[in-house]
Amino acid sequence: MAEQIYYEDVQAGMEITPLAKIATSLMLVKWAGASGDFNPLHYEDDFAKAMGVGAPIVHGALKRAWLGQLMTDWIGEEGRLKKLSCQYRGMDYPRKMKTMEEPHDGETWWCKGKVTGKHVDGGDHLVECEIWVENGKGERTTPGSALVALPSRGAL
Amino acid sequence: MTEGSLITDELRALIGVAWEPAVFKIEEGAIQRYAQAIGDPNPMFNDPEYARMTRHGRLLAPPGFTGWPVREARAKEKLFDTLIKAGGPPRILDAGVEFEFFETIGAGDILTATLSVASITERDTRLGRTMFTAAETTYLNQKGDLVLRSRSTLMQF
């Protein structure tokens, strides 16, 4: 894991360390099992067509979970996630599998973010962030925000 | 029901009514499978030995993990069904979520989740006339502390 980040290290405009993800049909199967979301929208071609999305789409909640990882990776073990929100604006379609382990070539998604502000509230050193998942074309399909509390060097 | 509105009387009757609470345990293996599905190698979510050495003393739930099946998912399925049976449009999608974290959730916790429909609204979107349902779920732990509040938005068209 990366070194612990402190409140004093961050300022508005700073980039959150990006996180790359590749959604595959395999990952969607694992997610369905791990989350218990068995909506056929995410694995049945005909059902997805009838729902108006064309083909099985990546679970919104999986993209939200990626954004959770983006934040927990960045804030480290001493940081605390206070709020996380996102909107499922654009559909994302997983890569299909070529072998048992390897997906076909295709899109890579990036979870990204930047610091929009920081303030101290009571004993909490809070940092506000804008976060999003970006598809292979650079479109933000899943914009959101996060509020985190970071440790302060002053409080050591 | 006003002329041309998607919101039936049955739908309106759902607003503000709390559902029967669900009680469930946060299991270590379920946390690990969840972290593996995302592809998150963080030892706080994967390695019980490591986690025991930290101040938390146990595996923590990744943000948004609230037991298996994830209550968000189970409640959502039931909510999808309820909204469609109450006369909402047949095509339904998850539009977003907002989590507010108050206390740590970790392996061994027993949570009580209570869902209620906060609001049902409608407006025109690129999908045509669209109905938006906002559902709020509060999660208390075994000590009675509020640990998490989530607000989900579903869209139907």
Task: List chain A pLDDT tens, one digit each, 156 residues.
Answer: 568 999 999 999 999 999 999 999 999 999 999 998 898 999 999 999 998 899 999 999 999 999 999 999 999 999 999 999 999 999 999 999 999 999 999 999 999 999 999 999 999 999 999 999 999 999 999 999 999 999 999 865
The Cα A63–Cα A74 span in angstroms is 17
- Chain A residue numbers with beta carbons less than 8 Å from the beta carbon of B76 are 37
Which tokens in the block code for residue B41?
């190698």
The H-assigned helical ranges of chain A are 25-35, 45-50, 60-75
**Residues in Cβ contact with B143 at an 8 Å cutoff, skipping those fewer than 6 apart:** none
Give ∠ CA A11-A17-A22 in degrees, rounded to 5: 150
Tokens (6 digits) for B59: 């595996």
* Extents of the domains making up chain B: 9-26+66-156
Query: Does B37 contact A34 at a Cβ distance shorter than 8 Å?
Result: yes
* pLDDT single digits (tens) A47-83: 999 988 999 999 999 999 999 999 999 999 999 999 9
ipTM over 0.90: yes
Q: Kindly list the residues from chain A whose CB atom is less than 8 angstroms away from the CB atom of residue B127.
A: 52
The CATH number given to whatever domain includes residue A110 is 3.10.129.10
What is the third-level CATH fold of B9-26+66-156? Answer: Thiol Ester Dehydrase; Chain A (3.10.129)
pLDDT at B72 over 70: no
Nearest to B75 by CA among A67, A49, B67: B67
Taking a contact as any Cβ pair under 8 Å apart, which residues of chain B between 30 and 89 contact chain A?
30, 33-34, 36-40, 42-44, 54, 62-64, 68-70, 72-74, 76-77, 80
Distance from CA of B98 to the nearest CA of A (A): 4
Task: Please report how the helices A25-35 and A60-75 are oriented relative to each other, as an axis angle in degrees rounded to 10.
Answer: 80
Most A-contacting residue of B24, B38, B81 (CB-CB within 10 A), to test interface? B38
**Inter-chain contact B93–A84, Cβ cutoff 8 Å?**
no
3-class SS at B39? coil
Determine the structural domain holding residue A132 and report its residue range: 10-23+59-155
Contact residues on chain B for A81, CB-CB shorter than 8 A:
63, 101
- The answer to whether the beta carbons of residues A93 and A109 sit under 8 Å apart is no
A20 CA: distance to closest CA in chain B (Å): 10
| Number of domains composing chain A | 1
Cis previous bond, A143, omega within 30:
no
